[in-house]
Structures are given as C-alpha cells and as structure tokens.
Amino acid sequence: MLGLAEGSAAALAAQAGFTTLASQAAVSLINNQGDLGAVLSDLGSSA
C-alpha cells in the first residue's frame, strides 16, 4: 500500500505525463493540419 507522500508523488508524475502528452498532441495536430492519422503516427513514433 502506498503512503500519502508516495501516492502524491505518483499522482504528480501521472499529471505531468498527461500534460506532456496533451501538449505534444496539440502541436502535432497543428503541424499535421488536423490529420488525426498523422498525429497518431507522430505520437506513436520513437523519434
């Protein structure tokens, strides 16, 4: 079981990860002129 500090740290890490992913998706959507297939390809690439 996680303690309060560990749970808070995990929640903050998850929030940071989600924020980063949302930002990358927004930039990719603009760069790909709304092409969702290209956005998913960008987000799924390892580059």
What is the pLDDT, as a whole number, of residue 47? 59
Amino acid at 41: S
Token representation of residue 19: 């924020």
User: What value does the CA radius of gyration of the chain take, rounded to a whole number of Å?
Assistant: 15
Amino acid at 44: G
Overall average pLDDT of the 6-15 stretch: 87
Per-residue pLDDT for 43 more than 70?
yes
- pTM for the model: 0.70
